[in-house]
Amino acid sequence: MNSDASRRRDVTVADVARAAQVSKAQAARALGNYGAVSDDVRERVLAAAEELDYRPNELARSMNTGKSHTIGVVVGDIENPHFGLATRGITDTAKRSGFNVILINTDEDTAAEIDAVRVLLDKRVDGLIVAPASSVETHHLRRVHESGRPLVLLDRKAPGLDVHTVAVDMEGISHDSTTYLINSGHRRIAFISTLRTDGPYRDGMPLDSSQISDRRDGMKRAFVEADLELPDDLIRLNAGDAESIKKITRELLQRPDPATAIIASDGLIGLSVVEAIQELDLSIPQDVSFLMYDDFAWTRLTTPPLTVIAQPVYDMGVAAAEALIRQIEGRKMPAADPEFMAELIRRGSVAAPKAIDVDH
């Protein structure tokens, strides 16, 4: 419709060069501002570019430089504020260094992750940040790394893969918070996670996610140190949507030997657990203690406010992006992966368990 801007071919350096009466090379140099250009030429070129409304084709540029100034980010679920915040840390940092971000969601599905990585590689991103769905199926990640493309892992580790990883010390915080519960008098401590496994939890079962695996190990160590046994029957994996989480919560609380404390593996799960508890007309922490990973702002608003495990998610996003960009730009990497520390924030959802029911 429009008079001139409409259906016309994009204007290229050649057009600008012609208008400025210089060679394509000189125009390109002035525009890309590299090489040697006289003030006179630069001026004319810039003026012509302005006049013609020239915009560089970054694709073409990337083709010969080999750099796309784009990094790929692969996460399980942006909808989860945990990743939302981390992504924010990444994009803020990327922008600051002149990088753009292509974001791909995997729904925590390894097949989707493999595909995402391939797509990103095909698009010639300069580097990748991946929150791997599995700490075991990492062949695709190993290939990225071996091909020489910078790669940084976020949130989850991949044992055996020598890649810079930004994650918190999960074993430690899990141990500490479990100990806290034990010291508060709890023995029947439940743990709910969405991690998908074949069949229910069994002692010593290998867990695909380093995150969950480490948490299990931390819990176990806490119990062992207290000369107690980790109640395997209260470790509930394969939680899915809200309804399934509520169902699990009900089971945990309505069995003969109910859980007296529940640990939710993330904020989304925690939400449904708390809701289920409320629906059962039980109160926190009188009837059941509650603890969850992720310090979402709303946890301060419930009655009582929730005791949570805070992770420096934004900072981790920043750190991941910084490490990646450092790698891309060929600068030295820090000697070792700095471990980020999670923190137990004691608010009001943990108390001593009720006096034991002496049914029998």
Name the residues that contact a copy of itself, by CB under 8 A: 2, 5-7, 55-60, 62-63, 68, 70, 77-81, 84-85, 87-88, 91-92, 95, 100-105, 118-119, 121-124, 143, 146-148, 271, 274-275, 278, 296-298, 300-303
Least separation in angstroms between residue 327's CB and DNA is 20
Q: Which does 111 bind (CB under 5 to 8 A by kind): a copy of itself, DNA, none?
A: none
Instruction: Return the bridge partners of 165, or none.
Output: 153
Cβ nearer to DNA, comparing 27 with 274: 27
Q: Which does 229 bind (CB under 5 to 8 A by kind): a copy of itself, DNA, none?
A: none
Q: Which does 170 bind (CB under 5 to 8 A by kind): DNA, a copy of itself, none?
A: none
Q: Return the sign of the alpha-carbon dihedral for residues 321, 323, 326, 327.
A: negative
Least separation in angstroms between residue 276's CB and a copy of itself is 11
Cβ atoms 353, 260 nearer than 8 A: yes
Q: Which does 24 bind (CB under 5 to 8 A by kind): DNA, a copy of itself, none?
A: DNA
Least separation in angstroms between residue 131's CB and a copy of itself is 15
Q: Which does 64 bind (CB under 5 to 8 A by kind): DNA, a copy of itself, none?
A: DNA
Q: Which does 38 bind (CB under 5 to 8 A by kind): DNA, a copy of itself, none?
A: DNA
Cβ nearer to a copy of itself, comparing 122 with 198: 122
Least separation in angstroms between residue 271's CB and a copy of itself is 5
Least separation in angstroms between residue 285's CB and a copy of itself is 15
Helices (H), the chain: 13-20, 24-32, 39-52, 58-65, 81-96, 110-122, 139-146, 170-183, 210-225, 242-254, 267-279, 313-328
Least separation in angstroms between residue 219's CB and a copy of itself is 25
Helical pair 39-52 and 13-20, crossing angle rounded to 10 deg: 120
Q: How far is CA 183 from the centre of its chain?
A: 32
Cβ nearer to DNA, comparing 31 with 71: 31
Cβ nearer to DNA, comparing 8 with 360: 8
Helical pair 139-146 and 110-122, crossing angle rounded to 10 deg: 20
How far apart CA 330 and CA 49 sit, in angstroms, is 33
Cβ nearer to a copy of itself, comparing 154 with 219: 154
**Which one-letter amino acid corresponds to residue 140?**
H
Least separation in angstroms between residue 57's CB and DNA is 4
Least separation in angstroms between residue 51's CB and a copy of itself is 15
Cβ nearer to a copy of itself, comparing 21 with 57: 57
Q: What is the DSSP string of 296-308?
A: -GGGGTSSSPPEE
How far apart CA 27 and CA 33 sit, in angstroms, is 9
By CB atoms closer than 10 A (0-12, 13-18, 19+), residue 86 is buried
DSSP code for 232: G
How far apart CA 193 and CA 175 sit, in angstroms, is 17
Least separation in angstroms between residue 175's CB and DNA is 50
Rg of the chain on CA atoms, in Å:
27
Residues of the shown chain interacting with DNA in the complex, contacts defined by CB under 7 A: 9-10, 12-14, 22-26, 28-29, 31-32, 34-38, 40-41, 54, 56-57, 60-61, 63-65
DSSP code for 327: H
Cβ atoms 94, 71 nearer than 8 A: yes
Q: Which does 184 bind (CB under 5 to 8 A by kind): a copy of itself, DNA, none?
A: none
Q: Which does 143 bind (CB under 5 to 8 A by kind): DNA, a copy of itself, none?
A: a copy of itself
By CB atoms closer than 10 A (0-12, 13-18, 19+), residue 105 is middle
Q: Which does 224 bind (CB under 5 to 8 A by kind): DNA, a copy of itself, none?
A: none
